[in-house]
Every structure is written in structure tokens, then in C-alpha cells.
Structure 1
């Protein structure tokens, strides 16, 4: 019996390898014919079938590709499995991709996790930038969520949620418990967004009683961050070897049921109202329901589900990991921490809490956030792009359907652009408007061009507010964080859904709150 099973496994493995070989040969022939007329971008030679995967595999592919780009140049050609891939690693090359050739290179390469629940066909992040649906969602975001008027109307929400973050840490400390800072900031970001959208909290700080939406989001982002064989060999998608497609479908259905319940409850609430229209809550959900109920509207509940999925996934872990990296860098640089604390204390005063309205009075803190984004962009490769037709980048021919990876991590550390590129020096950004990020292509943590992250203005309010609250409220000395973090302030990173610290920062039992009134 054992021999029979072993033989069957060998036959399956042989079939699998043969299939991979045929796919690879076919892909290589197609790629060779595409590049036959002109020499393509330089790049390392790869192995049969797998190409250059072994040269980048691991928890820090952004570093591996940055190292290779120092050898082969800022426009580098790779083969990742069956995907012809071009890696961009300089501001000039990024400007070509994200601005000059944006109309040709604005397509998207979708991952298996995105395709698993049809997100690539509906999501604003993957819709063609030429489509009317994409323009509609960008307009909704620009007018109903990220406009100056909406930021002003919701500033009290952000201030309240930042205060709740500090209160939670204090209460846990008084009971003798430490807090995972990134997780706590994740919940704060989640509740800011859920209040702007639904006017309610959808996250809970207590890990024993976390909410269903919180669990679904966390699980989806964990799945999205897993290495996935199918992303490099799309022809194997039907096999679902790692079970990722099935798991993602379950999580997305669960998330969409939550959204559907919230929408249905609001529609019922609106139907029962007898007062004037201005009695509505005026949050984003009311605007989305108005959009669905418009006569002749092309938007349905499926569109709303995917739109909300984009909002919550893009606006939670990206913010919390940035706060954690900023805090880690400040702990490693006591002088910078002292400068930030003096500035915040001077503006806020004693026995108060940091408000959203204080943020524009913190130039040094804003510089800390900008320097953190330069060194630690949440998504080091942004969202992969795809060439819609044959084109050229800095004189190198790029074939149609090639995947384009923009290494934002490498660009932010380019020594030809940044003096002391590897050092944390917030002073370099003093006097520079934080909202110019992405416009000069020297650092592009939010992307650039017409596909720049539409939520940049909200992120640049939530992150500084949480960070300022943490700096102001507590004395961040070595005694206030766990011993294993303090000894060498381990800065190892792991690339999952975002680029996060391998070892999280925890607050230890806090002996006292500092300057915080509660």
C-alpha cells in the first residue's frame, strides 16, 4: 500500500514538473519573440522554469531586488516564474512609468488572492484608469471622503479615537499588561474609518472580544501577504495548490455579509424617518446608498462591497505599521525623540490630549513621519503594473503584458538622491510640505501619477495624530518597552500585506501617564 501511494505521489510530481516545464518553455518562447528586435533591459540570468525566483525569495525581496539593481541598473529585467518582469529602482525611471508612460503602464497585474473573489474586476485599485467606473469612484473619494471639507467635518472623530487609544494603553498598563502598539494603532485606524463610513466603531481593542469585521479584515490581509505559487505560474490557478483561493472566498463572503447587514440597517432606518433629508447622518454610507438608489444608476451592492473592502484594507495596517516604524526609529534616535516631544509639549500644554487641529503646528513631527515613509514605505512595490502594449522605458523595449514592479523602498534610499540615505534624519524634511510626497518621484510611498493613493490626505492626518499622542502621553525610555526590543532595537522587517517589523514593539507596564488628562 505504501509503495502504491509513493508511486502515485511520484507520478503526480512528475506530471506537475512536466506541466511547469511546458508552461515555462511556452512563456520563454513568447518572451524571446517579443524582445527579438531590440535588446531588453539588463538582468541576471535565471533557472529553467522558476527563472529568478530563488534570487528574491524570502522575507525581504525589496532588498534583494535593490541589490540586483545596483548591478544591472534602475531598469532591470527578470523572469519570475512565467512572468516577464521589469523592476524600476530610480526616480527617473519611476517618473517614466508613473507619469510619462502612465497611459501605457496603468494596467494592473492581479494576484491570486485578488482574483479569488473577483476583486480585480470591480476594485478601484485594479479597474482600468480609463473606465467610467474608475472615474466615478475617484470622484466619490475626492468629494465625499478625502476633501478638505470632509476632513474638517470629521476631525473630532479622529481626535476622539486617538484619545481612546491612549486611554486603552493607560488602562492596560494600570492592570499590569503590555500592549502591542501596532495592533492598537490598527484598531484605532479601523475605528476612524468605520466612523467616517458608518458612524460606528467596528474594531475592539480587547483581543478576546475582537469584532467579526476586524477578524475578517485581519485574516484577508494575512492571506494577501502569503507567498503564492500561482502568482508566478498563473496557469496553475485552477489547482489552488495552497488553498488560498478557497480561504479568500470564505473571508470575502463573510466580510461582504457584514457590509450588507450595515447597508440594510441604514436603508431601513432611512425608510422609517419622517423628518427632512438633512436629518440623515451625512456619513459616507448615506452617500453610497444615494448612489445605489439613483435612477438609472450602474452601481449595485456588489460594487459597494468591493469599494468598502478597498477602503478598510488600504487604510488600516498601512497606517499602523507606519506608526510603529516611526516609534522604532525615534527609540533608536533619542535626540529626535526629544525634539518631537519638546515641540508637541510646547503646543499642546500640560494635562490635555493631542487634537487633530494641532497637527499643522508640528513641523518636526511631520518631518519624522515623512522620513519614516522614506525609509519604510508600507508597500515597497506599490501595486504591480502591467504594460498594455509594447513600449520603452529609458530606451529599453518593454513587451506587452510585462509586469512592472516599482521598488519604492529602493527609490527612497537611493544614495545618488539622498545624503546619508540609510540614516534616520527628520531634519532633511523641515520646511518641506508633507503633501508634496510623490510629486518629485524621489520618494513615492503612496505611488504617483493618476493612480496615486487617493487616501494620502487622510493617512497624513491619522498617522501623525496617533504618533503625536503616543509621544506626548508617555515617557518612551528603555524601561517602557520590553527588554528584547531595547537591547538592540531589532529593526528586522517582514514583507506580508505590508512591510512590518518582525518583532513588534510592546509598551511595558507604564508607571505613569505623562501630560495626559483623563
Structure 2
């Protein structure tokens, strides 16, 4: 003991970390062997102590797809002391996401998120229960319902028209499609949430938007970064890779932005005596917080969590999907021609596309569906964590396992789709799977209790923006460049190379770009 007390702090930390890792891993090895004797899913052999960790590929969705061809539609991995299960077929996905929905209703929370958001509550990470049901009800019924979103359609139109005006000013110049889509959706969402708080058109609003964009991009990237603490929970306190510290810093930046907005709104409400009707979602949330008759009162932590869900969940994902859609359309002239013909027949050759036209554009909807089939936003969904040991697909899934549903593999399965690697929107004109997770061959937003809560908002933003971009402009790749549609794996799927294109006006009347 005396010798150890004389070590410098860094040496002591490393010694304790390695000792803890060894002890936990020895337990995991025994645990793993024990469960493999209890009819758990087959899987690749792993090394003592660390299991399959060193063999994991950066392109995890592709590696899992390859392993499923060897070990079947449900297989297991040992991730240090954690037990991992990968599901890659519609029938087994149905068992996880619908038949045993309640048991798999919790998400597996990354260590960095658990540490950085301690005490906070949101829809994505809050455990299934009364608090989660209350948050989802508030979000779905009052923030992203069809009625609510229809009531703020002019906000969406205003921001999309701003994007059109900007692109018109960039005619002949290169434009980063994902960046513009990100900013547009961010402006739509923040206008819906707190549009009356920050002075319209002021520098303050632009500063808030730019800061949020940077924080969201960093947050989603960090969320997909491998972290040893997720596999060896005993090492969380040491933060060996610094992921927890970085995530804490990002969450603090979110908190500072939201705190500023909330202070401004509370001051405005106090000065007005709360006599004005609610102008946006933030007013509504603050009224819920002050509702003394609520069974589960909304707290300020809940409000911040809901704001983060909308900002993080609705921006980067929509921008990435738009990039993939535009890239595929530009690569397929026949698809582009058919989109234009449909738009012109519905909106007219020299008229502005309106959101009211969207329901009359079945081929455009098919293009979005096909894009999300080939490039699902979250290719492995957010991992689920069973609350008890359960039998799925004839195998036992131990309590506390990390369960991945490989949507990317299901969507590209040749036994499910004809010519699955081809971009063919027409396949969705003949069959009618929607985004709601009722058809387990098509799960871009997941299914069951934990299905993405913002489907309606995402659908409206994507369809309207894509219709505007395709109807208002011609697009071409900059000279000397090739169109690259390759993807980069992460918690959120991205294009490996950002889509840069040059817009040319299609409409003859310049006033239509104002």
C-alpha cells in the first residue's frame, strides 16, 4: 500500500484502470461462456477479455451485414463485458420492435450521454415509463401533430423561400446542398419553437443559428465515436478517451443557448403580463410547466430536453437525407425528368411550388422513400436494451444486452427487394409501405414505442424542400468533379463527400425567386 501511494496520479489511474478492466473482462468472459451454453445466438469467436472489440470495422453496418450472411439473421458479439445482438431480418425485427416491444422499450444509453446529461430528461434517452410517456405525449400531440404543423406552414414557407432567394443569388456558383438544407431546417424548427423571442432578421438570431449548427454537427459526430467506456462501464470515471468531457462541453453549450432563450422569453412574458396568446411552442411549454394540476409536471429540464430533441433530431438528419436524394436524382436523369414532369403537371411550369401541392406528388414521395431505403438516417437504429432475458428468433437474449436492428441490411436484402442496390423510386408506387414502421421490410424511422417522434415534421420538410429545389433550379456538378454517392457510417449516416452543385434557374419569371 505504501508503494502504491508514492506513484504519481497518472500512473495510479492507469494501474487502476487496467486492473478494473482485467477484473471486469474476466467476469465478462465467464458470463459470455455461461450464456453461450444457454442457447444464445451464434456469432464470431472472440478473444479472451475483449471479445470481438478489436475486429470491429469502421463501416459497422456493412460488417454486420456480412456477418449475418455467415451466422444468420440474428447473431451475437461480445463487446468486452457487454453482450451484443444484431438483428437483420424483417421477421426478427418484428419480434424485437412489436411482439416484445415493452421489454425492448429502453434505449442503450451511451456512457458519454449518461454522464453529460445527468438529471436531464428527453424522449430519446429517458427510460420507458410514466415520465417518458408524458414527454412523448407533449411532443407528439402538441409540437409535431398534423394540426400543429399545418398551423405553422407559413413559417416553413418563409424559410424555404429564403433558401430559394439565396440560391438564386448564387447562380453559376458552387453551393453546398447539405449546408443549405441544414440551415433551412434549423431556421424552420427554431422559428416554430421560439420565433418570437429573437428579433426577426437580427444579428442575434443569425448568431444563435450558426452556433446551434456547429453544436449539432459536433454532437452527432461525437455520438458515433467509439468509446471504451461503453464497453467497460467501470472505466467511465476515468474518461480515458475524453469523450465524456467533450460531450459534457457540448451539452453545456446547448444549455447556455437554451438558458438565454428561456430568460428572454420569461422576461417578455413578465413584461406583457402573460396576456398574449401563445405565439410558439416555447410559450406552450412554459404554460405546461406552470400547470399545477398536471399529474406529471413539466420541469425546466424537460423543456430543455424537448428543445434538444427537436434541434438535434430534426436538422442534421434532414440535411443528410436531402444530400443523398439530390445526389441520386442528379445521377439518374430519368428520375429527374419524371420528377419535373410531375411538378409541372401539378404546380405549373412557371409557378411556385407550394406545400399544398405535396400530397399530389406521389412520385416525389416515392423518391424520398427510396432514398431512405438505401440510406436510412440511423442505419442500426438507436440500440435497444431488454429489461429482462427474452427469447427472440429461437435464441435467448440476456437482460441488458445491446441490441442493434440493422435496418441498412434489411433495406438492401435481395430476398426482400428486387435489385436492391438500384435506385428505383417506382418500387414504392406499386407497394405502399409508409414511414410509420408498420411494414418491417421498411423501417427508416424505426417502429414500436420508440419510433422516431418527428416523422411528420421530417416528411413535410423533406418533400417541400426537395420539390422547391427540383422545380426552381437545374443542377450540375462543378467542372472537373465527379458525383460521389458513397456513404460514411456513423450513428447518423452521412455522405462521405459533401454534395456541391451549381444551380441554374428554370423558371422564366425572376419574381418567382423572391
- Structure 1 position 383 matched with structure 2 position 379: no
Change (3 A) 1:236 1:434: same
Question: 1:255 offset after TM fit, Å?
Answer: 1.3
- Structure 1 position 287 matched with structure 2 position 284: yes
Which structure 2 residues correspond to residues 177-196 of structure 1 after superposition, within 5 A? 177-196=173-192
Aligned position for 2:51: 51
- Which deviates more from structure 2 when the two are superposed, residues 383-392 or residues 134-143? 134-143
Which structure 2 residues correspond to residues 103-502 of structure 1 after superposition, within 5 A? 103-118=102-117, 122-129=121-128, 131-173=129-171, 177-199=173-195, 211-273=210-272, 276=275, 279-295=276-292, 298-430=297-429, 432-433=431-432, 435-476=434-475, 480-483=476-479, 485-486=481-482, 489-502=483-496
Change (3 A) 1:137 1:173: same
- Which deviates more from structure 2 when the two are superposed, residues 296-305 or residues 181-190? 296-305
Cα distance in 1 for residues equivalent to 2:71 and 2:118:
35
- Structure 1 position 33 matched with structure 2 position 30: no
Question: 1:270 offset after TM fit, Å?
Answer: 2.0
Change (3 A) 1:374 1:485: farther
Q: Is the 8 A contact 1:55 1:64 kept in 2?
A: no
Change (3 A) 1:157 1:89: same
Cα distance in 2 for residues equivalent to 1:485 and 1:112:
41
Cα distance in 2 for residues equivalent to 1:213 and 1:162:
19
Question: 1:16 offset after TM fit, Å?
Answer: 5.1
- Structure 1 position 506 matched with structure 2 position 500: yes
1:246-283 Cα distance to aligned partner (Å, 9 max, x none): 1221221221122122122222222222685xx32432
Question: 1:8 offset after TM fit, Å?
Answer: 11
Cα distance in 2 for residues equivalent to 1:235 and 1:15:
10
Q: What SS class does the counterpart of residue 137 from structure 1 fall into?
A: helix
Cα distance in 2 for residues equivalent to 1:377 and 1:18:
40
1:366-399 Cα distance to aligned partner (Å, 9 max, x none): 0000011111001011111111111100110111
1:17-73 Cα distance to aligned partner (Å, 9 max, x none): 55433321111212333443x321111111233322333321x21011001001101
Question: 1:84 offset after TM fit, Å?
Answer: 0.4
Question: 1:185 offset after TM fit, Å?
Answer: 0.5
1:411-443 Cα distance to aligned partner (Å, 9 max, x none): 111111111111111001015556454111111
Change (3 A) 1:209 1:441: closer
Cα distance in 2 for residues equivalent to 1:346 and 1:169:
24
Cα distance in 1 for residues equivalent to 2:282 and 2:253:
19
- Aligned residue pair count: 498
Change (3 A) 1:40 1:328: same
Cα distance in 2 for residues equivalent to 1:497 and 1:104:
23
Q: What SS class does the counterpart of residue 419 from structure 1 fall into?
A: coil
Q: Is the 8 A contact 1:155 1:357 kept in 2?
A: no
- Structure 1 position 92 matched with structure 2 position 88: no
Question: 1:15 offset after TM fit, Å?
Answer: 6.5
Cα distance in 1 for residues equivalent to 2:480 and 2:209:
27
Q: Is the 8 A contact 2:185 2:318 kept in 1?
A: yes
Q: What SS class does the counterpart of residue 425 from structure 1 fall into?
A: coil
Change (3 A) 1:472 1:370: same
Cα distance in 1 for residues equivalent to 2:426 and 2:266:
50
Q: What SS class does the counterpart of residue 242 from structure 1 fall into?
A: coil
Q: TM-score, normalised by structure 1?
A: 0.90
Q: Is the 8 A contact 1:110 1:120 kept in 2?
A: no
Q: Is the 8 A contact 1:159 1:354 kept in 2?
A: no
Which structure 2 residues correspond to residues 57-68 of structure 1 after superposition, within 5 A? 57-58=57-58, 60-68=59-67
Question: 1:93 offset after TM fit, Å?
Answer: 0.5
Question: 1:207 offset after TM fit, Å?
Answer: 10
Aligned position for 1:4: none
Cα distance in 1 for residues equivalent to 2:400 and 2:91:
22
Question: 1:121 offset after TM fit, Å?
Answer: 5.8
Change (3 A) 1:425 1:300: same
Cα distance in 2 for residues equivalent to 1:288 and 1:15:
46
Change (3 A) 1:120 1:173: farther
Cα distance in 1 for residues equivalent to 2:411 and 2:480:
29
Question: 1:292 offset after TM fit, Å?
Answer: 1.1
Cα distance in 2 for residues equivalent to 1:207 and 1:409:
36
Name structure 2 gaps, 5 residues minimum.
1-7
- Which deviates more from structure 2 when the two are superposed, residues 9-18 or residues 414-423? 9-18
Q: TM-score, normalised by structure 2?
A: 0.90
Cα distance in 2 for residues equivalent to 1:387 and 1:116:
21
